[in-house]
Structure formats: structure tokens, C-alpha cells
Amino acid sequence: MAAALTAARAGREVFLFERQSRVGRKLAATGNGRCNITNTGAAVNRYHGEDPEFVRPALEALPVADTLALFRGIGLLTREEYGGRVYPLSNSANSVTDALRFALEAEGVRLVSGDRVRALTRSGGGFAVTTESGARVEGEAAIVACGGLAGEKLGGGRDGYELLKSLGHTRTALYPALAQIATAPEFPRALKGVKADCAMRLVRGREVLAESSGEALFAETGVSGPAAFDLARRVSAEGGGLSLSLDLLRDYSFGEVLEHLRARVENAPQLTAGELFIGAAPNRLARMLAKYAGLKQDAPASSLDARALKSLANAAKNFALPVRGTEGFASAQVTAGGIRTSEFDPATMQSRLVPGLYACGEVLDIDGDCGGFNLQWAWSSGYLAGRLL
Ligand SMILES: Cc1cc2nc3c(=O)[nH]c(=O)nc-3n(C[C@H](O)[C@H](O)[C@H](O)COP(=O)(O)OP(=O)(O)OC[C@H]3O[C@@H](n4cnc5c(N)ncnc54)[C@H](O)[C@@H]3O)c2cc1C
């Protein structure tokens, strides 16, 4: 959509093919329906792939401030929240899709939705698109913006990779990023729906492989939420023997937590083991920490010896769960890996193999951190591709 809008504004006649019944279906589901449209901290170090530097020219061509100005120009007002995350003021992702749709229509872009592009071939000096319904459209240039494998129900799929492969491009391995981390389910299942601020470490034995911090959301089969998402790409890449360690009281040292517990026992001996952390952690989590520590939840606090209190403090500081992998592409927000960026010119997004062919967004081997970075990549790379330089 960003590419089509840019090309149309430059006076080109543009056809936008969308295989789903309407454009921007995935967009409408982003950010839990609120659409985390960008992040004011968008910079090269928030992106991954064989060559993260590839994103630099696009981010310079359409930086965050210009992206927000572009959206304001098509009627969308936004607000910045914690961590530089930007959302529509309406708090509704539909505002973003509608603003884009209206803008595309106003610029005369021909939206061909509900029809899947089956083939993209060279034709004369340009390209021919053939769709499932048998339509054939020829044009001077083609921009492949088919996204990646993540979020299958929202339109994720392999078509973009296949279309580009048919024209000689190659891709790296694909794996889910920003996905739920699957762990031994006992504790997450019991805590399903509980959110907790924490520091998270991905460890193998004593080695810490990656760290993140922020919100964790316990789910039926593992741990989700931004802090988990940021480690998921590493889980996919590392294979077995991993565990996820949550520090659920990250602002307090182990000694301070222990001291807090001792004070609670002294001041409120009527509490049970399962109640000692109430006030410090969400109630269900507080109770579960006692279980994790191997204590009876209803054991009187006054009966807990020094060892029991240490186990309880350790449960809060090192809530470790064996990792089973990630939940895969269905639950992933983005695809790590994609069409090789070395085959495209980062200054134009044009193919180095096929003149007149462009690609942008998730189909390329670029994925961003959680927090609006993936959509910023889609806007910036789409804008650059749409200039058809
Ligand atoms: C649940 C979820 C929440 C997310 N939340 C956020 C967020 O808050 N912030 C953020 O920055 N990122 C978020 N992301 C990631 C972000 O949505 C994607 O990285 C981004 O949409 C990629 O943009 P794109 O244009 O490359 O691909 P897409 O948005 O996937 O668009 C590609 C389009 O091409 C269409 N298409 C594919 N093949 C064909 C074909 N053969 N013919 C015709 N049409 C075709 C698809 O139907 C699709 O509509 C989220 C992702 C998911 C799944």
C-alpha cells in the first residue's frame, strides 16, 4: 500500500493486487487491533537479517517523522506511548487501513482484491501479472510486497518468495520470529492470562544466550508478550537444550527480595506461603511462586525456615522453564529470513538481477524487533520501492 501510494503520487498508473477480499487485513490485526504503526527509536540496530545495514537507505528516505507526517496527511492522527511505540489516536488499527484505502482510491490506484497473483513474468520491456481468475495485466515495473509466512490466517504465505524465485531470486532459511515461546506447560498453563513485567534470559546450562525485558504473558503452552517475542528468533535459531529464566522482580536484588520475605513473615505471620508475594506480584503468580519453590501454598508463613524463604526468593528471581521451541509461523508476528537482500539495491529496492523488479517489506530477509519496527520497515521500504528509481 505504501509502495502503491508513492508510485501513484508520482503520476504512475498503478494496479494493486490483493489475494484477500480486502487490502490490509493483516494490518488490521496488528498491535492487538491497535496497530503499533511505528517506533520513534527505529534505527538499523533494531533490525536483523544477513545484512541489517540494508535498511538504512530506506529509513533515511522515509524516517519515522516523515512517516507520521505522511499518515497525518491522509487523515491519521497518532500518539506516542511507552518505549517510543506509536499508535493511532483512535486506538483502532482499522483507522490505519481505512486511511490508506481512502488515499489509494483518491490517487486512482486500481485495487484488484480477492484475486491471487499466480505468475509474474517478463513481458516485452516490462512484466506481466497473471491472476487466479485469469486476468492478465502488463506494466513497466513490478513491486513484490507479498509479506512473509507469519500470521497465516491473516494472509501470510509463500507466494512472494515463489514469485521472486521464478525470476531468479534466492532466499535464506525462514523461521518464526516474534512468536510465543513454547515451554514445559505446567506453570504457564496454570498462569494462563497473567501478565508480568520481568527480565527474561534465554540460557543453555550456565551460558546466557540472549536477554530481554518487558511484559511477559503466560499462555496455555508457553510464554508470550513482547519480552518473549524478542527472544523467539534466537530460540528458533539455537535448537534444543534451552531454558527460559524469568526474573519477576527485576528491580530488586536476590538479597532485597529475601529481606522483603523475611519482613513479611515477621510483620504478617498469619499469611500463608502462597500469600507472601501478594502485593509484589499479580495474585495468581504470587501463589504459583510458592508451588514453584516446592512449598505448600497454604503452609503458614511462620512455619517457613530460611531455606524455604530462599527457595521462594529464587522462584521470583529465576523462574526457569524448559524451552520446547516456538509456536511456529501461525503465532509468529514476523518471518526471520527471506529473499536475499544482496540481490537488491538498498538505495532503490530494485532487483540487481532483473531491472524494473522491486521488492519491499517482510518478503525480504529483514525482520525487526517487537514495538512497531516491522511496520516501519514496511512503510520505508515500500515508499522507496514505490519511487521506482
Ligand atoms: C498478529 C500480528 C500482529 C502484528 N503487530 C505488529 C505491530 O503492532 N507493529 C509492527 O510493526 N508489526 C506488527 N506485525 C508485523 C507486520 O504486520 C508485518 O511485518 C507487516 O505487515 C509486513 O508488511 P508487508 O506489506 O511486507 O506484508 P503484509 O502486511 O503481509 O501484506 C502482504 C499482502 O500481500 C498479499 N498477498 C500475498 N500473496 C499474494 C498474491 N499471490 N497475490 C495477491 N496478494 C498477495 C497478502 O494477502 C497481504 O495482504 C504483526 C504481525 C502479526 C501477524
> Mind listing the pLDDT tens digit for each residue in 153-184?
898 999 999 999 999 999 999 989 999 999 99
Name which of 388, 387, 381, 389 is nearest 160 in CA terms.
381
Q: Which atom of ligand 1 is nearest to the CA of 38?
A: 11
Ligand 1 center from residue 26 Cα (angstroms): 5
- Residue 366 near ligand 1, beta carbon < 6 Å: no
- CA 71 from centre of chain: 21
Which residue is listed with cell 521470583?
316
Residue 282 has pLDDT above 90, yes or no: yes
Mutation choice for ligand 1 from 25, 30, 127, CB with most ligand atoms inside 8 A = 30
- Residue 59 near ligand 1, beta carbon < 6 Å: no
> Mind listing the pLDDT tens digit for each residue in 109-155?
999 999 999 999 999 999 999 999 999 999 999 999 999 999 988 98
Which of 3.50.50.60, 3.40.225.10, 3.90.550.10, 3.40.1390.30 would CATH assign to domain 2-175+335-386? 3.50.50.60
Q: Are strands 126-131 and 136-139 parallel, antiparallel or unpaired?
A: antiparallel
Which of left, alpha, beta for 298 (phi over 0: left; psi -120 to 50: alpha)? alpha
Ligand 1 center from residue 147 Cα (angstroms): 5
- pTM here? 0.90
CA distance 345 to 349: 5
Alpha-carbon torsion, ordered 79, 195, 93, 175, to 10 deg: 110
Backbone dihedral angles phi then psi of residue 29, each to the nearest 5 degrees: -100, 0
Cβ burial of 252 (10 Å; 0-12, 13-18, 19+) is: middle
Supply the pLDDT for residue 260: 97
CA distance 119 to 113: 16
Supply the pLDDT for residue 190: 96
- Residue 214 near ligand 1, beta carbon < 6 Å: no
Ligand 1 center from residue 156 Cα (angstroms): 7
The grid coordinates listed for 343 are 540481490
CA distance 9 to 20: 24
> Mind listing the pLDDT tens digit for each residue in 311-346?
999 999 999 999 999 998 988 999 999 999 999 999
> Mind listing the pLDDT tens digit for each residue in 209-254?
999 999 999 999 999 999 999 899 899 888 889 999 999 999 999 9
Which residue is listed with cell 510465543?
180
Cβ burial of 231 (10 Å; 0-12, 13-18, 19+) is: buried
Q: Are strands 126-131 and 85-88 parallel, antiparallel or unpaired?
A: unpaired
Ligand 1 center from residue 366 Cα (angstroms): 13
Ligand 1 center from residue 149 Cα (angstroms): 9
- Residue 159 near ligand 1, beta carbon < 6 Å: yes
Instruction: Give me the count of residues in the chain.
Output: 389
What are the sequence ranges of the domains in the chain? Answer: 2-175+335-386, 180-327
CA distances in angstroms from 115 to 5, 165, 176, listed in the order given: 20, 20, 27
Supply the pLDDT for residue 225: 93
